[in-house]
Structure 1
Amino acid sequence: MEKIIEENKQGTSLVLEQKEGNAKKLFIESYGCQMNFSDSEIVASILVNQGYNTTQNLEEADLVLVNTCSIRDKAEQTIRKRLEKYNAVKKINPNMKVGVLGCMAERLKDKFLEEEKIVDMVVGPDAYKDIPNLLKDVEDGRDAINVILSKEETYGDIAPVRLNSNGVTAFVSITRGCDNMCTFCVVPFTRGRERSREPQSILDEIQDLWNRGFKEVTLLGQNVDSYLWYGGGLKKDFVKATDMQKATAVDFAQLLNLSATQFPKMRFRFSTSNPQDMHVEVIEVMAKHHNICNYIHLPVQSGSTRILKEMNRQHTREEYMTLIDNIKRIIPDISLSQDMITGFPTETEEDHLDTLSLMEYVKYDFGFMFAYSERPGTMAARKMEDDVPDDVKKRRLTEIVDLQQVHALEKTKRFIGQTVEVLVEKDSKRSSEHWSGRNSQNTVVVFAKENYKPGDFVNVKITDCTAATLIGEAVGYSEIMQS
C-alpha cells in the first residue's frame, strides 16, 4: 500500500451545497491520503440524508468529524492537537458531538472513548453506513464504536457528494483494503483485506460525473493494479472462484480500457500502483488511449534489494528496474513518481547508496520522501529495532530530497519548446490573470486566461519552467475538444 499525502490539503474542512430543510450542522475535516478525502465525501453523503448540512464554522457545529491517518506519527500528533481544539469548543457548546473516523479510529479503537474520553464516537473505514445508528447510541448515552472491518463493503452503492470540488476533476474509488503486508505499513490492519468494487457501479459513477461536467477522473485505491472483480468477495479468495467467475472476471487493465473507451472525451489517471502488481497489459492500455494520462505513481520505498526484503516488498531492485524499462519502452514520454523511506531498520550506507543510484537510473519527475518512523502494530515495530540514528536519517533524507530536486528540474525542462495538452482546473495561485492545469504527465502548467475556461482542454506551448511548474502560451483547443 502506498499513500500520496498532499500537504497543502491536510486539515481541509469540507463544504457542500446546502440542502433545504436540513437543520443540523456538520463540520468534517480530513487528513492523510486521497482515499481519506474520498471517504469523507461518502460520509457527507450519508449525513446529508440524516438532516445535516456542512459548515466551515467549527463553533456552530452539532457534529464534528475528523477523518484520520495513521501512516506517520506526525499525522497522529496533528490530529490529537485538533481533538484538543474540538474539546475546547465543546466546553462552550456542550451539545456538540465529536467523532473520529478512518485509520486512526481503527488503530486506537476504544482508547479514545474509554481511556482518554475525548470523543463521543469512533468509526472505522468500513463502518460509515452505521454512523446514523452510532449517533443514536451517543444520544442515548451509550458508547458509540464500530471498527469492524468488512470483507464486502466497497460503498459502491453510495454516490459521493463532491466536496470542495473544482467541478473539473474527481476521484472514484475502485478498491478498498490491502493484502500486501509491508512491514512498515498499518493499512492492512486499519483498512482490512483487499476487495474490489463492481465495475458497472464504477462506470455509472463516471457517467454521473460526465453528466455534471467533470472532465477528469482518478481511479483510486490502496493498490489499483490488483483490482479484480469476479462477483464480489476478497481478492485472496479468487482461487476459490468458479470457472465461470474466473472466465468473466474483470482486472485493472480491462477496467481502465472500459473507462477510456466509454468516455473518450474524459481524461483518466489512477493511483496508487504497486510494482509487483503492475502488469504490461496496463501499460499497453495506457499507450493505446490518448485520454489515459502518461503518468504513473510507482512507489519503490528503497533501492536496496536487501531492505526491500526486510520491508516485505514483493519485488527486487532488478525487477523494479525491468518494470521501469518496459514502461519507458512502451510509453517514452511517461512521467514517474516515487515514495521513498530512508532510515528503515538495519539500513546501511551501502543500502542508502543503492537508493540514490536507483533514483539516478529512473530519474523520477516527482517524489514523496520520508524518514522512517515506527508505527505501532506493524510487523517492523514488533520485530525490528529502529536502529538508524535520527541524525543519519535526516542526512540521508536530505541527500534523497536534493537529488530528487535536481531530477525534477531536469524532467520539467524537457517540456520547454513543446506543445502540451492542458486541462484547465482553476486560477493560478500567483495570478488571477492566469489559468492553472496539468498536462498528461501531471506537471502543473500556467498560462494566460484569454477566453478559455475551467474544463477546457487547451494546447499550450511551453516557454519557461521552474522545478515544479511549466509556463506557456495557449495556441488553441486540443483535439479532444474538437472531435
Structure 2
Amino acid sequence: MFNPEITLKEHDEARQGEALVLENDKNVSNSRKLYIESYGCQMNFADSEIVASIMMEMGFTTTGHYKEADVIFINTCSIRENAEQRVRNRLKEFSAAKTRKPDLIIGVLGCMAERLKAKFLEEEKLVDIVVGPDAYRDLPNLIGSVDDGNKAVNVLLSREETYADISPVRLTSNGISAFVSIMRGCDNMCSFCVVPFTRGRERSRDPHSIVKEVTELSENGYKEVTLLGQNVDSYKWTSEDGSEFVNFAGLLERVALVNPDIRVRFSTSHPKDITDEVLYTIAKHENICNYIHLPVQSGNSRILELMNRTYTREWYIDRLDAIRRIIPDCAVSTDIISGFCTETEEEHQDTLSLMDYASFSYAYMFTYSERPGTPAAKKLKDDVPDEVKGRRLNEIIAKQQQSSRAELEQQLGKVQKVLVEGFSKKSDKDLCGRNDYNAMVIFPVVEGIKPGDYVNVLVERCTSATLIGRIV
C-alpha cells in the first residue's frame, strides 16, 4: 500500500490525518501477526518502521488486514483535531473486533499516546498499551505485561534516544524511496504546537550511522532518501571527545556523496535556521533536490510573534531571496494557518500578499485548531469565528491553486529528469514519477523502462497538480 508522514516522498502524500498501513504478508505458521496504521507527519511513518523492526525481532510477522492481527497499533498525531477524531473512531472500530478475538491487543503509539494516556487507558478503555515516541524499545516488556493480563504504559521522554542502531523495516516501501530519520524532538516551542511536549527536546543522530543507513539503502537499489527531522536545519552533532562537529550542511554533503545516483530530499526546514551554507550545499550537489519545504504559517510579523516563530515577515522574505539567489531554479512549498488568535483582516491580507511574493509550488493549508496544553491554548484566546477562519482559508487555497498552476506551467516545454515510481494511479498505460522540484510527472509506458529508472521527460501539458509529457 502506498502512502508516506509511507513512500512518502512527499508532502502531498503525508497530509495530516491520512493513514498508512504497514503491511508485508510474510506468513509464518504459528507466529503472531502485527498490524500498524499511522497518521500524521513523516516522522510518525518513519517511527512505524522502527516499531515494525522491534516487533519482528520478537518474532511477529505483519499483515495489512487488522482482522487477521493479534496486535494492532495505531501511530497517532496530535497536531490537528480532525486527526485525533479519526484515531478515536478507528480505535472504536478496532475495539469492536475484541468481541470476536478476546486476546487481541490494541495499542496507541506516538504523540496522542503521550498526551492522552489516561483517557485511553482509564476513561475510554479503548486500548491495552500506550507507548510514547521515545519508548518503543520497551515494547517487548509492554507486550509481555499485557499477555499477563495487565494494562501497559510507557510515555517517558528521553534526551538521548535516536534509535540510531535499529534498522527500519521498510515494509511499505516501493524499493525506490526511503525515509531516514536524522534527529528527534523539537526545541522551537511554537505557541500552537504540541510537538515539544509529545516528542521532547532536540537530539541529533550520529552522522556515521546515518551515512551507513543511506549506504545500505543505495546498495539495496534505493534511488531516493528523505532526511527527516522536526527541524532539520538545527541538526548538530559533536563527537564525545569533541574532535568532530557536524551541522546540517555537513550532513547533507556526506549523504549526497554516498552515491551521485541517489536523490536526497529533506524535511522540514525552519525559516529561522536555514543558512546560506545549506543553500550552497544544495547548489553544489546535483543529486540534492532543488526543493525546500519552508513553513511560513503567517505573513504578518505580529501574528508570527504570537506564534513564537522567532522570525519576522522580513526575515522570511530574506530567506526566500537567498534561495532564489543561490539556487535560482528551486521550488519552495510551505505551511499556512488561517485564523490564528486575534488575526485581523489586514493581517490575513499580509499572508495573501506574501504568497504572491513567494509563489509557492505547494502548500499545506489549515484553519487554526487549538491544541490543549500548548502555550496558545493557555495564554491566547481563540477568538476568530469559524466562519471567518473558513472564508480566509478558502482565499488562501484559491491563491495557492493559482500559484501551483503557474509554477507547473513554467515547466512546459522543458525536459525534466524524473525518477520512475510505478504506474499512474489512473492507467496502467502510463508511468509516473517525480522531478527534482517534487512535482508529479505522468508519461506513457515505454518498453524497458521500470520503477527506479531515471528518464528524461519532455513536459507537454499540465493539470492543476500534475505534469504530463513523454520520454525523450
Rounded Cα–Cα distance in structure 1 between residues aligned with 2:30 and 2:280: 48
Tell me what 1:309 maps to: 305
SS at 2:257 equivalent: helix
Rounded Cα–Cα distance in structure 1 between residues aligned with 2:218 and 2:65: 32
Give the residue type in structure 2 aligned to 1:82: R
Rounded Cα–Cα distance in structure 2 between residues aligned with 1:17 and 1:422: 30
Instruction: Tell me which of 190, 198, 217 is aligned to 1:190.
Output: 198
Tell me what 2:351 maps to: 355
**1:385-431 CA distance string (max 9 Å, x none):** 10000010000000000000000000000000101100001111111
SS at 1:263 equivalent: coil
TM-score by length of 2: 0.96
Cα offset for 1:56?
Answer: 1.8
Asked if 1:214 is matched to 2:222, the reply is yes
Instruction: Tell me which of 403, 410, 434 is aligned to 2:406.
Output: 410
Pairs within 5 Å for 1:196-235: 196-231=204-239
**1:9–1:53: structure 2 CA closer, same or farther, 3 Å change rule?**
farther
8 A Cα contact 1:339 1:369, kept in partner: yes
Cα offset for 1:118?
Answer: 1.2
**1:460–1:8: structure 2 CA closer, same or farther, 3 Å change rule?**
farther
Tell me what 2:39 maps to: 31
Tell me what 1:176 maps to: 184
Tell me what 2:465 maps to: 468
Cα offset for 1:473?
Answer: 1.0
Rounded Cα–Cα distance in structure 2 between residues aligned with 1:126 and 1:150: 6
SS at 1:66 equivalent: strand
TM-score by length of 1: 0.93
**1:143-184 CA distance string (max 9 Å, x none):** 300000000000100000002111111100001000000000
**1:64–1:186: structure 2 CA closer, same or farther, 3 Å change rule?**
same
Aligned residues: 461
Asked if 1:456 is matched to 2:456, the reply is no
Tell me what 2:49 maps to: 41
Tell me what 1:238 maps to: none
**1:68–1:8: structure 2 CA closer, same or farther, 3 Å change rule?**
closer
Rounded Cα–Cα distance in structure 2 between residues aligned with 1:160 and 1:114: 32
Instruction: Tell me which of 75, 87, 92 is aligned to 1:79.
Output: 87
Pairs within 5 Å for 1:39-78: 39-78=47-86
Pairs within 5 Å for 1:377-392: 377-392=373-388
Cα offset for 1:270?
Answer: 0.3
Give the residue type in structure 1 aligned to 2:204: S
8 A Cα contact 1:110 1:122, kept in partner: no
Pairs within 5 Å for 1:292-307: 292-307=288-303
Give the residue type in structure 1 aligned to 2:103: N
Rounded Cα–Cα distance in structure 2 between residues aligned with 1:279 and 1:8: 27
Query: Identity of aligned pairs, percent?
Result: 57
**1:6-44 CA distance string (max 9 Å, x none):** 249822221126274661011110010111011001000
SS at 1:110 equivalent: helix
8 A Cα contact 1:27 1:57, kept in partner: yes
Give the residue type in structure 1 aligned to 2:338: T
**1:303-358 CA distance string (max 9 Å, x none):** 00000000000100000000100100111110000100010001001110000000
Name stretches of at least 5 consecutive residues in structure 1 with no aligned partner.
Answer: 233-243, 476-483
Instruction: Tell me which of 389, 397, 402 is aligned to 1:401.
Output: 397
Rounded Cα–Cα distance in structure 2 between residues aligned with 1:318 and 1:388: 25
Pairs within 5 Å for 1:304-343: 304-343=300-339
Rounded Cα–Cα distance in structure 1 between residues aligned with 2:454 and 2:154: 44
Rounded Cα–Cα distance in structure 2 between residues aligned with 1:358 and 1:218: 28
Instruction: Tell me which of 418, 427, 443 is aligned to 1:422.
Output: 418
8 A Cα contact 1:19 1:48, kept in partner: no
Asked if 1:439 is matched to 2:447, the reply is no
Asked if 1:276 is matched to 2:272, the reply is yes
8 A Cα contact 1:22 1:53, kept in partner: no
Asked if 1:101 is matched to 2:109, the reply is yes
Tell me what 2:8 maps to: none
Give the residue type in structure 2 aligned to 1:130: D
Rounded Cα–Cα distance in structure 1 between residues aligned with 2:348 and 2:218: 46
Instruction: Tell me which of 357, 360, 370 is aligned to 1:364.
Output: 360
Rounded Cα–Cα distance in structure 1 between residues aligned with 2:107 and 2:16: 23
Rounded Cα–Cα distance in structure 2 between residues aligned with 1:149 and 1:376: 19
Cα offset for 1:59?
Answer: 1.6
**1:356–1:156: structure 2 CA closer, same or farther, 3 Å change rule?**
same
Rounded Cα–Cα distance in structure 2 between residues aligned with 1:84 and 1:16: 24
8 A Cα contact 2:16 2:80, kept in partner: no
Give the residue type in structure 2 aligned to 1:195: R
